[in-house]
Structure 1
Amino acid sequence: MKIGKEENPVKELSLALGAGVLAGIAGTAAITISQMIEMRITKRKPSTAPVKAVSKVLKLKPTRKDEKETVSQEIHWTYGTSWGIPRGLLAFAGVQSWPATLLHFAAIWATELTMLPSLDVAPPVTEEEPKAIAIDAFHHAVYAVAAGLVYDAITEKA
């Protein structure tokens, strides 16, 4: 069953959200692997932006360096998993397959490009190097494509 073909909207929404969460987990795994490979190639250190952003928003701070890395990973996985929900909502609204994946990518990346600079934890995109922008866009595309493929696979067989 494909989302949008049922006559029970509560069931449809539940399936869309559940599949979205699973797709978000898959997308987060994909972007994590993509970033690990890129960091190994470029020798870049892991980003501290997630910890900085949450620290500013919630006014909490990890006290030890090893806590920062753990908290950063927890935030990364929670944030990425939660972004699967909008993918499910797109399908629930009738936007399917590659158009949904493209809109999902645009929403995720636009949010990052506006949220992090607004919290003063990353420079605006206009101050970034083109290579850094391309790498960031690539990672977010990896997330969106992986999440979209998993979402479509789950809902096609549901």
Structure 2
Amino acid sequence: MKLHENNALGALGGAIGKGLLAGLAATAAMTLSQIIEMKITKREPSEATLKVAGEAAGFKPASKEEKPKLSQEIHWAYGTVWGISRGLISLTGLKGLPATLLHFGAVWGTSMVMLPKFNAAPPITEEEPKAIAIDGFHHAVYAVTAGLVFDALDAGGKHERKLDKLIKQLKLKGLISRIKF
């Protein structure tokens, strides 16, 4: 008797879909943390997103007034798509904190390499410690939120969790050792 059959393409699709949702939620959390930080530090919004998108893909605002809007659109798309990597990490079997730490390293590490490459930010070795800490904090907010949301989405439904718990208990008691699940 088989209650659930794993399917590689289905698992990949599920990981990508859950990752996109996690990335969207994480981008919202990161955006909120940046808004709060900018109000506290009186920092202006960064134009790094536009610099990189302009050089890498040719994105340019139609006018000066369109710059903030295009920057936000790119920010949201980029952050949402990074959620896919969280889904792909789950396919390795990593969950929880280890997966979140790997995702954090991938997201922030890419930022530290790409922004200087496109002259959108100085290399980390030339940044002030306060700026590094703030940037790290925002990326940590992103990764932790993505991890929590992904793990919640990946937990399965209430009935599936109850069934899994029951099967585990029955296996431990040796009652269903011959049935494959």
Q: Per the shorter chain, which TM-score range?
A: over 0.9
Q: Which residue of 2 aligns with 1:46?
A: 45
Counterpart Cα distance in 1 of 2:41 and 2:132: 14
Amino acid of the structure 2 residue aligned with 1:81:
T
Change (3 A) 1:49 1:7: same
Q: Which residue of 2 aligns with 1:111?
A: 110
* Aligned positions of 1:43-122 closer than 5 A: 43-122=42-121
Once the two structures are superposed, residues 75-134 of structure 1 have per-residue CA deviations (whole angstroms, 9 ceiling, x without a partner) of 100000000000000001211111000000000000000001001111001111000000
TM-score by length of 2: 0.82
Counterpart Cα distance in 1 of 2:85 and 2:155: 18
Amino acid of the structure 2 residue aligned with 1:109:
W
Unaligned regions of 5+ residues in structure 1, if any? none
* Aligned positions of 1:8-27 closer than 5 A: 8-27=7-26
Counterpart Cα distance in 2 of 1:10 and 1:56: 34
Question: Which of structures 1 and 2 has the bigger CA Rg?
Answer: 2
* Contact 1:117/1:123 (8 A) holds in 2: yes
Unaligned regions of 5+ residues in structure 2, if any? 158-181
Counterpart Cα distance in 2 of 1:6 and 1:24: 27
Match of 2:134, SS? helix
Once the two structures are superposed, residues 15-48 of structure 1 have per-residue CA deviations (whole angstroms, 9 ceiling, x without a partner) of 1110000000010000000000000000001110
**Which structure has the higher relative contact order (CA within 8 Å, separation 6+)?**
1
Match of 1:94, SS? coil
TM-align CA RMSD: 1.2
Q: Which residue of 1 aligns with 2:140?
A: 141
* Contact 1:104/1:144 (8 A) holds in 2: yes
Q: What is the total number of aligned residue pairs between the two structures?
A: 154
TM-score by length of 1: 0.94
Aligned-residue offset at 1:157: 2.4
* Contact 1:53/1:121 (8 A) holds in 2: yes
Counterpart Cα distance in 1 of 2:5 and 2:99: 19
**Percent of aligned pairs sharing the same letter:** 58
Counterpart Cα distance in 1 of 2:108 and 2:96: 18
* Contact 2:50/2:59 (8 A) holds in 1: no
* Contact 2:20/2:80 (8 A) holds in 1: yes
Q: Which residue of 2 aligns with 1:127?
A: 126
